[in-house]
Amino acid sequence: MDQSSAEINDHEMQDGTQNDAGNNSIQGPPNAASPTPVKTPQKPEQKLTFSPKYMLSGHMKPVSSLKFSPDGKTLASCGADKLIKFWDAYTGEILRTLEGHEEGISDIAWSFDGDFLASVSDDKSVRIWDFALGTQVRLLLGHTSFVFCVNYNPNSNLLVTGGFDETVRVWDVGRGKTLKVLPAHSDPVTSVAFNHDGTLIVSCAMDGLIRMWDTDSGQCLKTLVDDDNPICSHVKFSPNSRFVLVSTQDSTIRLWNYHSSRCVKTYVGHTNRTYCIPACFSNTKDKYVVSGSEDHKVYVWNLQTCQIMQVLEGHRDTTLAIDTHPTKDIIASAAMEKDLTIRLWFGEQSAMAEEPGPH
Amino acid sequence: MNESLISPFNFSHPTAVQTSLFALGSFARFDPSGRFVGVGRFDGLATIWDLETKAAVRWLDGHVKAVTSLDWSRHSRYVLTSSKDWNVIVWDLASVCDPPQRHATIRCDAPVSSASFHPRNSQIILALLTTGEVYLIDLRKNHRSRTELYEPEGDEDGIEGQSTRRYTMTVARFDTSGKYVFIGTSGGYILVFNSRTKTMIARHRIAGGAGSIKGLDFAKNGRRLVTNSSDRTLRQFIVPNYPRSSDTAVESFIEEELEPTHRFNDPINKTAWHAVSYSPDGEWLAGGAADAANHKIYIWDISNDGQFASTLDGGREPLAHLHWHPSKASIASTTNQGNILIWHSPNAERWGAFAGGFEEVDENVEYEEREDEFDIEDEAEILRRKKEAEQDDVDIDTIDGETVNPLLHSAINGVNGVNGGSDNGGVGGGALDEDMKWADEDADDDIGTWKMQILMEDDENQM
């Protein structure tokens, strides 16, 4: 275990104005910390502004995925250094490091109760870890190439994975067996997810297609494709599963109504041509969409107007991994080789709410 | 959630076997969410199967003789098993160990032939003993009691008084609202008790006589009831309205003959029925034939005046039990070899779904080209139109009514059963009457947000 290698640089970022988010109230200059190049912030209503709070360093190679636990207390990270690390989401402390994969890890996913974490890796394996014990409880073998993406269903009795063997696999978590192999795409599968009641699976791939599957029968129910057929790098259901949020490598994020096969929102402004950068919804009162970018920044859009709310600057390389906190206005981001840090950005409302009960 | 994408057609009945579970069971019952089936076995074990993974996930090891019935609490947290070993056990599936923790064990005075939860409170339990007695057992702190439901002596009716021997009770069920207990007797009577006052409020003779009543099932809305009796006929009745319990005198009850709306039988083979179950919308009725050589399920179309719809053939192993899924066109039927057949209504694979923007048509359509179809449009114009189409706000949070999760769904149905179902209308306006209030006192902790933990089987760990 190399716990010691992970030290925290406690909220000492390059801007001096934001010394402690708790003490200074909302009054501070709203955009002094990050002068956004886009001029939309002059809205009369109360505005949400993110500011950097913690910088977590520990990973030796690029971080590929970040996931907050369902209760929001823990942040899990994984990377090309074959390690999974757990961090306290509110203090930034390192909690634990898991090792076991033989190649770099591409994605991780929490079970609904936060008891288990599934990870997928270039060693073609899927592993399930017990969070409390820090041990590996399952090794799922079956993929014939790199496994790239993973997600649990809401009951967490099923796991869905996709990879460079162009298949989507559904696993029985309890028994550790493959239930279904869907010959899903004709290019590496870049993202898979269940909807909120677990009856649908959505997958997307480098062939530019987004496909909806019936979990029970494994039948393909629908295929979405954009006119220009750009490479799809990430797909995610909206909280009510009526829409899917799709990131494509034409530097665009689209929100699709998959019933009518229509794109209902388009988010642009960031740069995404090469990497599979995920996009996330906020889970709080303010509705926004967050994504990383190849210009080293993190972009926050207003969900409805598609205007850029804020651009978070600080990372020194492509921001490859992104996640939003399940209950608060907190964004976690991580960048590639030249940076290797994970940053936690706290929205101002959440910084207020977080202070009374520190963990 | 997936329905809207799968098929534009409405609900139908199952047509084919999807899976066979090798469960060694004597019967199988779906839970209210439809995710699990609970299986009772002859060796005293009860098992919980996850239908998403088609695997047994919990082993309820507590009885020493055959399990005779199994019931689920409304959010599937508690499981009630009854057994020939005189015990009724309540299991708590929220416990993390396997076998799950026993929540309660109730010792009866004879082998128990069936037991069920009150639909609103899992601490009220109805138990039928093989001796033909029915007990209402209340486990709540302030109501702790065990009351026998007995039929009052019929002397006030004079004429019938002498002749009416008290028949043994052969089947006991709560109605969908839980206000009443319906009991079938060996004499072909249906007795109705108020579950709060435990007094009999009605005694129905089945018109024409029916022989001993073997089974009873309610449609989900609580308005209709079907009986299975020893004369090899299934009868459907409209559930009568009963006066509110407070309006009636304590000792009086309604004596009324019930005329079935439909009779279902097999006119050719004259087979008896092992089990009967309504579809969730109450439009179909499934009867499991007691055929000694075949596994046959008969389906009748209730919405079409009870017309016979089809027979499902499940192979050589005779049928022992069946139960309809709480929300889907699916049936779990048990063979006498202990296998559980899960029936479903398969959807034909639509290969057109693999092609984006491709639409299958059922018949040829003459395509008419629009005047401007191949005109070259200004790109800026297209962009502007796209922008315009994206003006509308999207709602990413609200889960629309038709696609609520099954747990929520069953709760809604429960409420419907209360307000519009077997009630006399005095309850309207959402107010609960005293029977409901009584049942809701000391509510159990079976809440909808509960989820079953996933157990990792250690023995199969490939580490």
Q: pLDDT, tens digit, for every residue of B259-269?
A: 889 999 888 88
% pLDDT > 70, chain A: 84
The stretch B71-92 carries a mean pLDDT of 93
Where are chain A's structural domains? 39-353
Residue A78: is its pLDDT beyond 60? Answer: yes
What lies within 8 Å, CB to CB, of A343 at 6+ separation is: A52, A54, A55, A56, A312, A314, A315, A332, A333, A334
Band of pLDDT at residue B165, cut at 50, 70 and 90: low
Band of pLDDT at residue B159, cut at 50, 70 and 90: very low
- More reliable by pLDDT, B343 or B142: B343
Band of pLDDT at residue A1, cut at 50, 70 and 90: very low
Taking the CA of residue A272 and the nearest CA in chain B, the distance in Å comes to 20
Q: What is the pLDDT of residue B4?
A: 65
Residue B463: is its pLDDT beyond 70? Answer: no
Pairwise CB contact (< 8 Å): A221 & B5: yes
Band of pLDDT at residue B245, cut at 50, 70 and 90: low
Taking the CA of residue A218 and the nearest CA in chain B, the distance in Å comes to 10
Q: Which residues in chain B are closer than 8 Å to A217, comparing Cβ atoms? A: 346-347
Nearest to A223 among B53, B57, B353 (CB): B353
Q: Which residues in chain A are closer than 8 Å to B346, comparing Cβ atoms? A: 217
Band of pLDDT at residue A42, cut at 50, 70 and 90: very low
Q: How far apart are the first and last CA of chain B?
A: 37
% pLDDT > 70, chain B: 84
% pLDDT > 90, chain B: 39
Residue B155: is its pLDDT beyond 90? Answer: no
Q: Which residues in chain A are closer than 8 Å to B400, comparing Cβ atoms? A: 240, 242
Q: Which of B90-99, B181-190, B365-374 has the highest mean pLDDT?
A: B181-190
Q: What is the pLDDT of residue A46?
A: 65
Q: Which residues in chain B are closer than 8 Å to A200, comparing Cβ atoms? A: 1-2, 5
Q: Which of residues 363-422 of B touch A (CB under 8 A)?
A: 386, 389-390, 392-400, 403, 405-406
Kindly report whether the peptide bond that precedes residue B99 is cis, defined as omega within 30 degrees of 0: yes
Residue A344: is its pLDDT beyond 70? Answer: yes
Q: Which residues in chain B are closer than 8 Å to A115, comparing Cβ atoms? A: 453-454
Helix (H, G, I), strand (E, B) or coil at A90: coil
Please give the structure tokens belonging to residue A241: 């599963």
Band of pLDDT at residue A59, cut at 50, 70 and 90: very high
Q: What is the pLDDT of residue A27?
A: 37
Residue B1: is its pLDDT beyond 70? Answer: no
Q: What is the pLDDT of residue A359?
A: 43
- In the Cβ-directed half-sphere of B400, how many Cα atoms lie within 13 Å? 10
The stretch B99-115 carries a mean pLDDT of 89
- More reliable by pLDDT, A64 or B12: A64
Per-residue pLDDT tens digits for A186-214? 999 999 999 998 999 999 999 999 999 99
Enter the DSSP assignment of B349.
P
Q: Which of A33-37, B214-218, B252-256 has the highest mean pLDDT?
A: B214-218
Q: What is the pLDDT of residue A45?
A: 54
In this structure, the number of other CB atoms found within 10 A of the CB of residue B94 comes to 17
Per-residue pLDDT tens digits for B125-140? 999 999 999 999 999 8
* Closest residue in chain B to residue A244, using alpha carbons only: B396
**What is the rounded average pLDDT for all residues in chain B?**
82
Pairwise CB contact (< 8 Å): A214 & B2: yes
Residue A343: is its pLDDT beyond 90? Answer: yes
**What is the rounded average pLDDT for all residues in chain A?**
84
The class (CATH top level) of A39-353 is mainly beta
Taking the CA of residue B123 and the nearest CA in chain A, the distance in Å comes to 26
- Which sign does the torsion angle of CA B398, B403, B406, B412 carry? positive
Q: Identify the CA nearest to B60 among candidates B35, B25, B32.
A: B25
Taking the CA of residue B33 and the nearest CA in chain A, the distance in Å comes to 11
Nearest to A138 among B390, B452, B456 (CB): B456
Pairwise CB contact (< 8 Å): B398 & A240: yes
Query: Does the predicted interface ipTM exceed a cut of 0.85?
Result: no
**Cβ of residue B353 closer than 8 Å to a chain A Cβ:** yes
Band of pLDDT at residue A349, cut at 50, 70 and 90: low
Pairwise CB contact (< 8 Å): A200 & B456: no
